[in-house]
């Protein structure tokens, strides 16, 4: 017929598409019933379910808690409504009852550390917090330590019943004074991602000094190996063999041991010298070691 009418087949079938109803639009699945059937045969309308869901969301306990999967179990426990999870999700979504997705906190100024060669003191400091136990008072205390990676020197520490961002800031400032560091641009500090280390107070303070603060990747303690080793020494050689009757006693013994560590305790990596002796001989060009990689 198309041939006798001198009509192109492509023209004919293209015309059919424009006048033929869209099959996909016509068959969009079975209609939404508007109710739910419980196992006992009772019917619950969607309007009733939505009303109960809104009552949940109006309660303070559910303002920012209770996703649709948990709401499913609340409905079963409290009202004996057995609703499919997919349907409950649709009802919550259509009525804006879903919880917002948790947004990841933006980590500001978190510079991830990289391996570097350390050729002299005061180029890289690592710091961390160690917990001690006061036997006589049945409570813990904190030891915050700064370690120079090159000579293993403990440049400063804080011992207290608490360790907050202000303690970290003051301890670090005192360390700079003790080491006579006026221009700190050549110094880098490295730590884990603890709350004191990532606090706004310490970040702002470090920025005013113009030095870099590096953070180790989460779960990678090897990048903070020198201060972790120092904490291990504290644990095995100090905390495990001492008894502290109160905090004053713990503080006094900590102060004495820190002095012993810097002046007396020898290190195999320092050619069997203490940090103090090694540093003195290093500046007098009497001893050298291979560059430390950290």
Whether residues 173 and 202 fall in one domain: yes
Q: DSSP letters of 138-175?
A: TEEEEEEEEEETTT--EEEEEEES---HHHHHHHHHHH
Whether residues 66 and 210 fall in one domain: no
Whether residues 117 and 156 fall in one domain: yes
Residue 207 belongs to domain with CATH number? 3.30.420.10
Q: What is the pLDDT of residues 228-286, one digit of tens each?
A: 999 999 999 999 999 999 999 999 999 999 999 999 999 999 999 999 999 999 999 99
**Strand ranges, E, within the chain:** 35-37, 43-45, 111-112, 117-118, 124-134, 139-148, 154-160, 188-191, 212-215, 292-293
Whether residues 126 and 257 fall in one domain: yes
- CA pair distance 64, 277, nearest whole angstrom: 59
Instruction: Answer whether 141's CB lies under 8 Å from 115's CB.
Output: no
Residue 123 exposed, middle or buried by CB count within 10 Å (0-12, 13-18, 19+): middle
The answer for 176, left when phi > 0, alpha when psi is -120 to 50, beta otherwise, is alpha
On whether residue 14 sits in a domain, the answer given is: no
Query: What integer pLDDT is reported at residue 195 of this predicted model?
Result: 93
- pTM metric for this prediction: 0.64
Whether residues 130 and 276 fall in one domain: yes
Whether residues 85 and 170 fall in one domain: no
Whether residues 237 and 277 fall in one domain: yes
On whether residue 19 sits in a domain, the answer given is: no
Whether residues 281 and 191 fall in one domain: yes
Whether residues 148 and 284 fall in one domain: yes
The residue out of 44, 78, 101 marking a domain boundary is 101
Q: Which domain holds residue 175?
A: 111-293
On whether residue 24 sits in a domain, the answer given is: no
Name residue 126's beta-bridge partners. Answer: 147, 190
Query: What integer pLDDT is reported at residue 22 of this predicted model?
Result: 53
The residue out of 81, 101, 121 marking a domain boundary is 101
Name residue 254's beta-bridge partners. Answer: none
Q: How many domains does the chain have?
A: 2
Identify the segments of the chain with pLDDT beneath 50.
23, 106
């Amino acid at each position: 017929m198309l041939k006798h009418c001198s009509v192109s087949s492509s023209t004919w079938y293209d015309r059919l598409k424009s006048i033929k109803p869209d099959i996909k639009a016509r068959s969009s699945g079975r209609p939404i019933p508007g109710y739910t059937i419980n196992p006992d045969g009772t019917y619950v309308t969607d309007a009733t379910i939505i009303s109960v869901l809104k009552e949940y969301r109006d309660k303070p306990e559910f303002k920012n808690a209770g996703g649709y999967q948990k709401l499913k179990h609340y409905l079963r426990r409290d009202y004996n409504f057995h609703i499919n999870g997919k349907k409950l999700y649709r009802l919550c979504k259509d009525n804006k009852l879903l919880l917002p997705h948790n947004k990841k906190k933006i980590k500001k100024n978190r510079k991830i550390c990289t391996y570097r060669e350390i050729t002299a003191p005061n180029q890289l400091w690592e710091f961390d917090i160690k917990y001690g136990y006061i036997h006589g008072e049945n409570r813990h205390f904190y030891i915050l330590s700064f370690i120079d990676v090159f000579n293993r020197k403990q440049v400063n520490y804080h011992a207290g019943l608490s360790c907050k961002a202000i303690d970290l800031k003051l301890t670090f400032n005192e360390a700079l004074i003790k080491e006579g560091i006026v221009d700190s641009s050549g110094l880098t500090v490295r730590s884990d991602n603890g709350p004191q280390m990532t606090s706004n107070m310490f970040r702002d303070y470090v920025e005013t000094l113009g030095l870099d603060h590096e953070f180790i990747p989460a779960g990678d303690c090897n990048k903070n190996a020198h201060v972790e080793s120092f904490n291990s020494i504290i644990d095995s050689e100090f905390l495990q063999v001492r008894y502290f009757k109160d905090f004053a006693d713990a503080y006094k013994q900590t102060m004495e041991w820190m002095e012993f560590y810097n002046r007396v305790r020898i290190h195999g990596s320092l050619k069997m010298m203490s940090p103090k002796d090694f540093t003195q001989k290093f500046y007098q060009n009497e001893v050298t070691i291979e560059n430390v990689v950290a």
